[in-house]
Copies of this chain bind each other. A is one copy, B any other.
């Protein structure tokens, strides 16, 4: 249904995103206005909002949905008899071995997260995305209408990932090595996931 049209759309969207990212990193998220972005991308402000519902989405566009996607896939493809939480632990182990970008904490990542931390609105949006991820994970754990325990477990998983990331970044900012940051990340992941597994295992249906 319209190849020409679609490619133009993709191009426009990409241009807006690129221009915005550049401006943001050059001058800070809050210091750049949407009018500037629109002008720099040579579109109207309305068009920007057409592609990105909120200003924050220009930076965090589906950033965190990736996590959830990984988790969902792993849970669905887990071997029979394996509990969802156990499978998530296994997944993290695999990501670690693969040195997957998602669990990689280098200078670049530190820059990105420091940038996010510098903007209250970005942080707020991130909290919102976390909540959405938790809700999604809860339904993955316990079906369309998860009970309180499933919601709590899902929330704890998301919180653990978030906290572990924050601490890994903290290590880097204190001058720690990438290796140390990674170690801190996985140590917290282990402890958090283990706690959730212990909690959820008293109610084994998954």
Given A127-B128, A195-B196, A199-B192, A152 and B163 contact (CB-CB distance below 8 Å):
yes
Give chain A's interface secondary structure class. Answer: helix
Contacts of A170 in B (CB 8 A): 148
- Contact at A160–B167, with CB atoms within 8 Å? no
Nearest B residue to A155 via CB reads: B159
A176 to chain B, nearest CB (A): 12
The complex is assembled from copies of this chain, and their number is 2
A185 to chain B, nearest CB (A): 9
Contacts of A164 in B (CB 8 A): 148, 152
A124 in contact (CB, < 8 A): yes
**Chain A, 140-194, CB within 8 A of any chain B CB:** 147-149, 151-152, 155-156, 159-160, 163-164, 166-167, 170, 184, 187-188, 191-192, 194
11 contacts between A and B (CB under 8 A): A124-B124, A124-B127, A127-B128, A147-B167, A148-B167, A151-B166, A151-B167, A152-B159, A194-B199, A195-B195, A195-B199
